[in-house]
Every structure is written in structure tokens, then in C-alpha cells.
Amino acid sequence: MLKIEYRIQSEIRVAFQEILERYMLIGSKLRQEVNGIIEEAKETEFCSCINQYQTLSFDIGCINCLRKRVINLLCHKGLKATLCVSKWKHTKNYPAGSHEYIEVMASTQGRKKQIPLVIELEFRDQFEIAKACDEYMKLVDKLPLCYVGKTEYLNPIVGVMCDAAKRSMEEKKLHMGPWRKRSFMQMKWSGTSERRSLNDEPLRQLLHQSCSKSSKPAAAGIISKRKLDASC
């Protein structure tokens, strides 16, 4: 039984590593550029709201303000970036909820049409579990802190992590909440998400209800003057 379990865990690690390698290989130049913009955003005083310490990863401001700042910087550099909001209703299987992430348009070799790329600023945190087994935590540690890439690589990563989370819960004899399941997690980055400009008044109120009036206005309405190459 232990040999079978070890073999399964080994197969999961190998498959997971292959997915991550493909993800890291495609769009590496683009990812480096976007990650640089994210770091640039963190170095600015991007948050002035009362929620600036209510965040999972960042002790320098709230995630809503950071997300807004990153979109501003992307647009100021001539890129087409928007805020996406995924929403789902309460069902017998899942609680109602919503999730926000960034989408930026990128070009690919041989294609005139641009493709959307997902930017998730707290990607690794989405899979943190209390009392997880060591094998699961090793997988979490391999995840990028921020995800920048296509959904075709995102969904397989989510699938492996959710399956591993289920095994971890079973090993620890813990209940797995519906919000940990693959179908629920994938709804967070749904292709049917609502896309909004930061210039929209309702969205500004949603993101920054508690921000001071002295915050700089968003500039997400800037028309893209350059293209990102997702094939680099």
C-alpha cells in the first residue's frame, strides 16, 4: 500500500513539474516584464485605504489597491489591461462568491488576433491550506507567487493542486470544503468574467470604498500603443 501511495505521489510530482516547465517556457519574456511592473507597483505608495493591512501576502498595502496600481502601470506603458470579475451564484454544491484578477492582451507569432493572459497577484496563496501534509506543501512551494500566462496552463495547474489537496485532506482525515474543489477554483478565472475599466464609477466604488479622496485617479482607459508578445 505504501509503495502504491509513493508511486502515485511520484507521478503527481512529475506531471506537475512538466506542467510548470511548459508554463515557464512559454512567454518567459512577457512574464519577466509583467513581474517587473508588479514589483514597481509594490515599491510605490499604492494604498491609502483603511484595509491596507488586510491582505494575505503583502504587508505594504491591500491587494485591491495593488491590483489597481498594477493595471494603471500596465496601461501607462501602453498595454491593454483590464480588471476581470468572476461571479457565481449560490448552489447546493457551492457558496456564492466572486474573484478579481487582471487580464492583459498579448500578441502571438503568426496570429493577428491578440490573446488574453491572466495575471493573478496572489496565485500561490489561493492554494494555502492549514494542516496540509508535507507532500502537498512541497507542491505549493513550487507554485509561482504571481501567475502570468494563458488559461490553458492555469487550468492543469489548478487541477493537479486540487487533486493533491483532496489527497492531503484525506490523509489528515479533514473535511474538504467545496471551495477547495477543482470546479470551484476554476470559476475564479472563468473566461466569462465581467471585464471592467478602472474609469467606471461603480467599479471605483467597489474597489476603493474606503480609500481616501486623495488617491490618484485610475488611467485604465488608455488605448494600447504597443503589443505584448506571448510567444517569447
DSSP code per residue over 103-136: EEEEE-TT-SS-EEEEEETTTGGGG--TT--HHH
Determine which of 32-41, 78-87, 199-208 has the lowest per-residue pLDDT on average: 199-208
- The stretch 87-112 carries a mean pLDDT of 84
- The stretch 182-191 carries a mean pLDDT of 87
- The stretch 61-85 carries a mean pLDDT of 90
d(CA 2, CA 37): 46
CB 130 within 8 A of CB 174: no
| Residues present in the chain in total | 232
Per-residue pLDDT, 203: 47
CB 156 within 8 A of CB 186: no
d(CA 22, CA 26): 6
Task: Check whether 221 has a pLDDT greater than 80.
Answer: no
- Residue with the larger pLDDT of the pair 223 and 96: 96
d(CA 153, CA 130): 26
d(CA 120, CA 219): 20
- The stretch 102-117 carries a mean pLDDT of 79
Q: Side-chain half-sphere of 228: how many Cα atoms within 13 Å?
A: 30
Per-residue pLDDT, 210: 37
- Residue with the larger pLDDT of the pair 221 and 119: 119
- Structure confidence at residue 200 as a pLDDT band (50, 70, 90): low
Q: 0.85 cut: is pTM over it?
A: no
Using CA of residue 184, residue 187, residue 188, residue 194, what is the dihedral sign?
Answer: negative
Task: Check whether 102 has a pLDDT greater than 60.
Answer: yes
Question: What's the mean pLDDT when you consider all of the chain?
Answer: 77
- Non-local (6+) Cβ contacts of 152 within 8 A are none
- Residue with the larger pLDDT of the pair 117 and 200: 117
- The stretch 194-212 carries a mean pLDDT of 51
Phi then psi for residue 141, to 5 deg, are -65, -25
Per-residue pLDDT, 123: 95
- Residue with the larger pLDDT of the pair 4 and 170: 170
Residue ranges of domains in the chain: 16-220
Per-residue pLDDT, 10: 72
